[in-house]
Chain A
Amino acid sequence: MTTKFTKDHEWVKMEGDDVAVVGITEYAQHALGDLVYIELPKLGATYSKGANFAVVESVKTAAEVYTPVTGEVIRVNDALESDFDLLKSDTDGWIAKFKITNAEELAALMDDAAYQDYLKTVD
């Protein structure tokens, strides 16, 4: 399945039928600038779609990261705590993996082309 995107600059892609992998886009990382801290969610915590599940802190600001899907956190990418550059990686830059309950939530998200169009409308 293809990667989907939110207006808050998160990306999500599916692993199998019910696991969603979530990270933040290159645009978000660039807007934040130099990262200094990342607050990761706890394993087993459940979040509703749109809930704040992580915080990425740069020198400039603290940015909340929202989950595009409802679900339980089944994996957390602890490696990010010591290597913020990892966020840039397509394969290893994910923040958390969620076991989702409603795959239809993904349908409303943007695909890559729509997200690229959306980026043209934001500063």
Chain B
Amino acid sequence: MSMRTTTIRIRVLGLLALALLVAGGVPRPCAARGGAAAPPKPPPHPAHVVLVILGGGVRVADMQDKDCMPHLVAWAEAGRFVKDVASDASDGYEAAGRILTGRAERLDGAAKPRPAWPTLGEYVRASEAVPASGCWLVAFEGGDRLHLAHSTHARYGAVVAPATTYGQGPFAQPMESFLERMGRPLPLQPAAWEQLRGLRRISRQAASIWLPDSVDAGRPRAEQVEQALLRELDRKALLNRGPNPRDEEVFRAARTVLAVHRPVLTVLLLGEAEQAQASYESYRAILAANDAGLERLRQDVEADSVLAGRTTFVVVADRPRAEKPDAAGRLGEAPASKAGRPVGVVIYGPGLQRRPRLKGPRALEDLCPSIGHLLGVETPQATGRAWLDLLEPR
């Protein structure tokens, strides 16, 4: 065999191996030949997205700082961290409007009107025929923040608005007056839950022949939701408010929403990082507390059989902050820039390409079509571009 023939054979084998790799990796014989079943392949796209807007301005560096936001850094390592996403919004309200509408429109932050263009929540509800309970906006305060839930657009608007809640939480908020009078319940100890479960079971058995199947009281899923509601109401949780009390309320409300409704889209609007204007130390403490809140959300999702493995988290800062604190220990707003001030985005969960090549400029308004792409939802009025270089194709 000549040297030339050998070289050609090596090249052909090399091309074959490359073709196999491109086609999806090496063959897996076991599953194909009836051996032990391979673990189920995770779905390429999520069925649920949790979008967290870190309002109040957060530096890119802080989102990459293991000392400050260790869980978010871990998410970025397992998923993707995108820096240099341009945010030239004048304030947090406008930034959130851009993220949710996918358009770089100026919003008058002082008047806080509804956006004129449909929001991501409206797209999700309109195109997928999702009920209001399948799409939520959870804000750190009421009123103007909730204006971002839906637009004044003629073809969208209130009809396909997502459900909204803030502060007290989706269950507690409507019965605020009742709670004011009756007080809130105390948490039930695990041993008490055991007792309760046993008693409910024995009574269910006693009446089983007369009970309709539709009554789920005492069944595991009903108990899971009951525990989530009682967690939201927990009297003690109100006393231990931490450095980020309003953001903590958002997390608590979001946990209820996720546990009860398992929404297609959940948007959390945080805002305590604004404290940076007063104290750098407070700002860092808030970010750390919010990081812990994010991790609790992730754990809830992982513990839920429907959400686990099918939920993607998108965490984005609404605007950046100055690089360094001033002499008074305050961290001001980042100076304006022609190219837009950069913020960070973390995407974690299914729907990401394994080895993406990131290219081209990015902006806040890209998030709406990108999340639309993740969920398979059209966002026709958005002018941002979906990050197809980063996301699994559909």
Asked if A pairs with B, the answer is no
Which chain B residues have a beta carbon within 8 Å of chain A's beta carbons?
A: none
